[in-house]
């Protein structure tokens, strides 16, 4: 009897000891403090790889998932803390808590400008850059950069970036976000103080962006032309962003949204400029283009890494999605439709076949421009329900696009290294899971 009681006490004591320690001490050495809110399996995996691949100095400077290393705060901590992202007072409590809960994941630096659909979590991209062994002074490519998460994050890490997108609006948005890392807040203040005039200039007549820019530069106080252009890009992005809010919510006018969104953009520029100065960080070079990922104008074997997320077959129509912004650009929409992966084809079945054809070309180009031994990461999910209907097969029989991409990669000399599943969270998403697929270019 006494022995049984002893055994039971012993088991409880053992359980208490195990529970008190948690499990992170098994994953991370004692000096590493992970960032608050890190709670998904893929995030823990990326944090683990960072802790194993980076040396202490690199963890402090560039790690994505740690806020303290041996008592010293990391740069990621400083970039993400301070005033939370300034969002308008009338925003829903859901939106407000999203930004607060995701303080270390998204919305920091200039990532929070313009809510682009299908945008990466910048914190995840930062960790992927680290675990792919990309270092300061290297060059990385995102051939389908969308809103520019990869170039913005790379620039903050001292890594040069080339960004390409078929959409002129994406090129503009990504450029505005990269440029905003380098804007002098004092010059921005000169412009934002006359935001009412700016709004009426932008709004009075419908003009293409090239004419809008001409008018802006003509009416502009004298700064140097490069600084003026950066500021125009930022303010015009706020104009497009506020137009989207006004159309979606209809609670306030475009002009009212413009005022508050410009205020938020200005706060973001002020904050990141201040932090970069404090940390002595000079954002690296970003070369962004409108172009076609199937046919890259980039030298063979010249890049140190590639990260991108292609459309998930025909799940999102990026032309329809961006139509109200695209009308400000000179490109023919029908011509763009021919370039956009996932949009070519008369019906869904044909669209899917052409999508696979196009992905072959994209991966072949990625393999060509990458240096030997270097890595290419693709983030991709599958629109199972849509595909099962289009292909007339059971949902379970739909082959995941991540597997297809791995097979195509192999045939182009890009061999699989690791594939990490990641849950897609959010009520509006029809997909539940995507994959971070890491490939490596064969040595020979
Ligand atoms: C999933 S989104 C990328 C989002 C991006 N990762 C971000 O963080 O914002 C896919 C992008 O591929 C672009 N795209 C589609 N076809 C393309 C092509 N042939 N060449 C270059 N970009 C293309 C679309 O315009 C869209 O911006």
User: What is the rounded CA–CA span in Å between residue 240 and residue 246?
Assistant: 10
286 in Cβ contact with 178 (< 8 Å) = yes
What's the CA-to-centroid distance between 149 and ligand 1, angstroms? 11
What single-letter DSSP state applies at residue 400?
Answer: P
What's the CA-to-centroid distance between 344 and ligand 1, angstroms? 14
What's the CA-to-centroid distance between 365 and ligand 1, angstroms? 15
pLDDT for 111 equals 96
pLDDT for 202 equals 87
What's the CA-to-centroid distance between 310 and ligand 1, angstroms? 6
Burial (CB < 10 A; 0-12, 13-18, 19+), residue 330, is: exposed
Higher local confidence (pLDDT), 210 or 287? 287
Measured at the alpha carbon of residue 25, what is the angle toward residues 23 and 29, in degrees to the nearest 5? Answer: 155
In the block, tokens 């008592």 appear at: 71
Closest atom of ligand 1 to CA, residue 340: 16
Q: Which tokens belong to 309?
A: 């997320």
| pTM (2 d.p.) | 0.92
Report the run of H or E that residue 36 belongs to, with start and end.
none
Q: Which tokens belong to 13?
A: 């004591």
Selection from 381, 437, 384 nearest residue 414 by Cα? 437
Could you give the 3-state DSSP secondary structure of residue 349? helix
* Per-residue pLDDT at 97 exceeds 70: no
Closest atom of ligand 1 to CA, residue 150: 8
Which of 117, 149, 311, 319 has most ligand 1 atoms within 8 Å of CB, for mutation? 311
- What CA dihedral angle connects 12, 16, 18 and 20, to 10 degrees? 180
What's the CA-to-centroid distance between 5 and ligand 1, angstroms? 64
* Per-residue pLDDT at 84 exceeds 60: no
> Distance of alpha carbon 133 from its chain centroid, rounded?
19
354 in Cβ contact with 425 (< 8 Å) = no
Beta-carbon-side half-sphere exposure of residue 433 (alpha carbons within 13 Å): 13
pLDDT for 91 equals 59
Beta-carbon-side half-sphere exposure of residue 94 (alpha carbons within 13 Å): 2
For range 327-349, the mean pLDDT? 90
248 in Cβ contact with 178 (< 8 Å) = no
Atom 13 of ligand 1: nearest residue by CA position:
144
Which of 318, 320, 322, 364 has most ligand 1 atoms within 8 Å of CB, for mutation? 318
Selection from 229, 285, 239, 226 nearest residue 265 by Cα? 239
Q: How many Cβ atoms are within 10 Å of 270's Cβ, its own excluded?
A: 17
Pocket of ligand 1, beta carbon within 6 A:
116, 118-120, 143-147, 149, 164-167, 170, 292-294, 309-311, 318, 339-341
What's the CA-to-centroid distance between 145 and ligand 1, angstroms? 6
Which of 115, 126, 314, 340 has most ligand 1 atoms within 8 Å of CB, for mutation? 340
* Per-residue pLDDT at 87 exceeds 60: no
Residues with Cβ within 8 Å of 181's Cβ and at least 6 positions away in sequence, in order, are: 109, 110, 152, 155, 156, 272, 276, 283
Atom 4 of ligand 1: nearest residue by CA position:
146
Higher local confidence (pLDDT), 213 or 218? 213
Atom 12 of ligand 1: nearest residue by CA position:
144
Beta bridge partners of 414: 441
Closest atom of ligand 1 to CA, residue 120: 8
User: What is the rounded CA–CA span in Å between residue 36 and residue 81?
Assistant: 11
pLDDT digits (tens, 9 = 90+) for 8-32: 889 999 999 888 877 887 889 989 9
User: What is the rounded CA–CA span in Å between residue 82 and residue 271?
Assistant: 8
What's the CA-to-centroid distance between 363 and ligand 1, angstroms? 14
Closest atom of ligand 1 to CA, residue 316: 1
Residues with Cβ within 8 Å of 26's Cβ and at least 6 positions away in sequence, in order, are: none
> How many angstroms separate the Cα of 253 from the Cα of each of 63, 248, 250, 279, 375?
41, 11, 7, 39, 47
Which of 165, 286, 289, 360 has most ligand 1 atoms within 8 Å of CB, for mutation? 165
Between 14-28, 95-109, 285-299, the lowest mean confidence (pLDDT) is in 95-109
What's the CA-to-centroid distance between 435 and ligand 1, angstroms? 17
User: What is the rounded CA–CA span in Å between residue 380 and residue 309?
Assistant: 6
Length of the chain, in residues: 444
What single-letter DSSP state applies at residue 374?
Answer: E
pLDDT level of residue 90 (50, 70, 90 thresholds): low
User: What is the rounded CA–CA span in Å between residue 373 and residue 232?
Assistant: 41
For range 326-331, the mean pLDDT? 89
What's the CA-to-centroid distance between 355 and ligand 1, angstroms? 13
pLDDT digits (tens, 9 = 90+) for 225-250: 888 899 999 999 999 999 999 988 87
Helical H segments across 137-167, by residue range:
149-156
pLDDT for 96 equals 59
What's the CA-to-centroid distance between 144 and ligand 1, angstroms? 4
Query: Maximum distance among all alpha carbons in the chain?
Result: 93
User: What is the rounded CA–CA span in Å between residue 238 and residue 257?
Assistant: 9
């Amino acid at each position: 009897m006494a022995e049984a009681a002893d055994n039971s006490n012993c088991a409880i004591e053992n359980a208490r000891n195990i529970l008190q320690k948690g499990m992170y001490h098994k994953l991370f050495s004692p000096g590493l403090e992970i960032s608050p809110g890190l709670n998904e399996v893929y995030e823990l995996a990326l944090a683990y790889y960072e802790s194993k691949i980076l040396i202490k100095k690199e963890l402090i400077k560039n790690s994505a998932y740690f806020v303290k290393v041996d008592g010293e705060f990391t740069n990621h901590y400083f970039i993400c803390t301070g005033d939370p992202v300034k969002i308008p007072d009338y925003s829903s409590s859901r939106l407000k808590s999203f930004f607060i809960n995701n303080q270390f994941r998204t919305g920091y630096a200039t990532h929070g400008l313009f809510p682009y659909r299908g945008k990466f979590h910048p914190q995840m991209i930062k960790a992927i850059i680290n675990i792919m062994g990309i270092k300061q002074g290297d060059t990385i490519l995102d051939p389908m950069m969308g809103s520019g998460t990869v170039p913005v994050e790379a620039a903050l890490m001292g890594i040069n970036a080339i960004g390409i997108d078929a959409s002129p609006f994406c090129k503009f948005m990504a450029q505005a976000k990269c440029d905003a890392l380098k804007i002098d807040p004092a010059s921005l203040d000169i412009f934002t103080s006359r935001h009412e005039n700016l709004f009426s200039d932008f709004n009075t007549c419908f003009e293409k962006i090239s004419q809008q820019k001409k008018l802006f530069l003509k009416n502009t106080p004298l700064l140097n032309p490069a600084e003026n252009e950066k500021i125009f890009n930022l303010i015009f992005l706020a104009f497009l962003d506020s137009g989207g809010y006004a159309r979606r919510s209809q609670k306030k006018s475009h002009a009212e949204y413009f005022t508050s969104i410009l205020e938020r953009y200005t706060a973001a520029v002020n904050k990141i400029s201040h932090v970069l100065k404090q940390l002595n960080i000079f954002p690296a070079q970003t070369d962004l283009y409108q172009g076609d990922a199937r046919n890259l104008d980039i030298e063979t074997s010249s890049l140190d890494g590639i990260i991108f997320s292609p459309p998930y077959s025909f799940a999102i129509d990026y032309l329809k999605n961006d139509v109200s912004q695209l009308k400000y650009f000179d490109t023919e929409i029908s011509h763009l439709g021919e370039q956009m992966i996932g949009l070519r084809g008369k019906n869904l079945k044909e669209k899917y076949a052409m999508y696979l054809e196009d992905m072959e070309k994209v991966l072949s180009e990625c393999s060509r421009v990458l240096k030997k031994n270097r890595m290419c990461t693709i983030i991709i999910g599958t629109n199972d329900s849509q595909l099962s209907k289009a292909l007339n097969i059971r949902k379970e029989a739909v082959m995941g696009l991540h597997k297809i991409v791995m097979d195509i990669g192999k045939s182009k000399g890009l061999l699989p290294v690791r594939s990490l599943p990641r849950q897609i969270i959010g009520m509006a998403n029809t997909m539940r899971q995507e994959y971070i697929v890491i490939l490596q270019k064969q040595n020979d």
